[in-house]
Amino acid sequence: MAETHHVVVLGGGVAGIEVATRLAGRAVGERQLKVTLIDRETAHVWKPMLHTIAAGTRDVYQQQTAYVAQARSHGFVFQPGEVLGIDRGARHVLLAPWLSAQGQELLHARDIPYDTLVLALGSEANDFGTPGVREHCRTIDSRRQAIDFNDEIRLRILQSATEDKPLAIGIVGGGATGVELAAELIQLATLAEYYGARDMSRKLSVVLIESGDRLLAAFPDRIAQATRVRLEELGIAVKVGAKVMAVEPEGFRLSDGSLVEAGLKVWAAGVKAPDLLARLDGLEMTRAHQVVVGPTLRTTRDENIYALGDCSSLTLQGQARPLPPTAQVAHQQARYLARWMPDLLTARPVPNFTYRDFGSLVSLGGFDAYGSLGKFGFFKGGFIRGRVAQLGHAMLYRSHQARLHGFWHGSLLWLVDRINARIRPAIRVD
């Protein structure tokens, strides 16, 4: 049997699943790459779509990719489990027992050996130590959290409709997740009326709270301003320059002492790497627990570990700030690492990672979309909106599907989505 080099990928998000899919079966000199993907979920969902699953305007079971099926089709191994730690000396990943939803132990605790480790653990909302966030707020950083939120919002809508009571939802964080979720919830209320929840648009109120002086701080000002105007037209109360000091059962306590009442509370502010990374002694970290990497995405203090996507921090030559934690950056880094890792592992010279900014897009459900074009080409920095921007947003997802499944399979998935949109309910009603 041919000797193998074992690459273990932690995290099956945008970056992790693309690296595992592209690397499986590649050769490193005389050795074959054996690739193992580890994730605590059983299926992958494109993270920019999580807010639609949370609102129920997209069906998770139509949009997810089962890791077992992807592994079977592309030749890597999937190991379900939550990572407890990494023994860098022995080159082992330590996995906790894998439990069912009922608490039954399905798999024992395990040690997974590696020759090369790829950290692609993504990111999560940052509560900045704000009192009450963990007790009273939901976050939407994973497939499971999105499903759980949707379960609750459907129950809340049912209660509001049957008891004729208002439903107030508060969202902290004026980035893309908070903005898009707010719009999706308004769309949910409108569609719920069609399926029998009378006057739901009147009963449901959404407030969006941002501590900065405007929404979408990472976007051009024109997009931020247009987005705020449209959100307010939809009936969403937008509060900027409003810092949340504590979360209480009744709502959000602001720095001026006022209380923003909310029965259902969502925290979508800030970005930090998973807490696991803070426990990895010896690796260079940022204050947000991101792993600092060099121009080939190799960690600065361990030549056997690479990191990419939201859990990594890379400052390009000549730049003052690290790359932003976006799906666009994660995809480009995954493509780079999958292409050049065989050469990196045999110490061949490779080019440094370069990033191309293809622009920014924000989608307000079926109401509108806004975007800026990339910082290159003839239309450098141009502004787009409406159907053109909505198509661009949709194409980002379809491109991701094509990278995972191939052009024809990805095209069939798009066709199935279009058929389902015609014959299935527009929201989750079961």
Which positions ≥6 away from 272 have C-beta within 8 Å? Answer: 123, 124, 125, 126, 288, 289, 290
Q: Which two tokens stand for residue 343?
A: 């050469």
Q: Is 81 exposed, middle or buried (0-12, 13-18, 19+ CB in 10 A)?
A: buried
Q: Is the pLDDT of residue 191 over 60?
A: yes
Taking alpha carbons only, the member of 396, 357, 395, 393 closest to residue 376 is 357
Q: What is the CATH number of domain 125-270?
A: 3.50.50.100
Cα gap 140→268, rounded to integer Å: 7
Say if residue 217's pLDDT is above 50: yes
Using CA atoms, how far apart are residues 124 and 134, in angstroms rounded to an integer?
A: 13
- Confidence category of residue 417, pLDDT binned at 50, 70, 90: confident
> pLDDT at residue 376 above 80?
no
CATH assignment of 4-124+272-345?
3.50.50.60
Instruction: State how far the Cα of 63 lies from the Cα of 48, in Å rounded to an integer.
Output: 12
Q: How many CB atoms lie within 10 A of CB 27?
A: 11
CA atoms of 265 and 139, how far apart (whole Å): 9
Q: 381 pLDDT band (50/70/90 cuts)?
A: low
Q: Position of tokens 């030549």?
A: 303
CB 63 within 8 A of CB 49: yes
Task: Tell me what pLDDT residue 375 has.
Answer: 60
The pLDDT value recorded for residue 90 is 94
**Domain ranges in the chain with CATH number 3.50.50.60:** 4-124+272-345
pTM to 2 decimal places? 0.92
In angstroms, the CA 322 to CA 314 distance is 5
Contacts of 50 by beta carbon, 8 Å cutoff, 6+ apart: 140, 141, 142, 143, 145, 146, 177
Judged against a pLDDT cut of 90, whether residue 241 lies above it is answered with: yes
Percent of the chain with pLDDT over 70: 98
Residue range(s) occupied by CATH 3.50.50.100 in the chain: 125-270
Cβ–Cβ < 8 Å for 19, 118: yes
Cβ burial, residue 275 (10 Å; 0-12/13-18/19+): exposed
219's enclosing H/E stretch is none
Sign of CA dihedral 295, 296, 297, 298: negative
Average pLDDT over residues 158-168: 92
pLDDT the model gives residue 280: 80
Please, how many CA atoms are within 13 Å of residue 27, restricted to the half-sphere of its CB? 4
- Quick: pLDDT tens for 291-350: 999 999 999 999 999 999 999 999 999 899 999 999 999 999 999 999 999 999 999 999
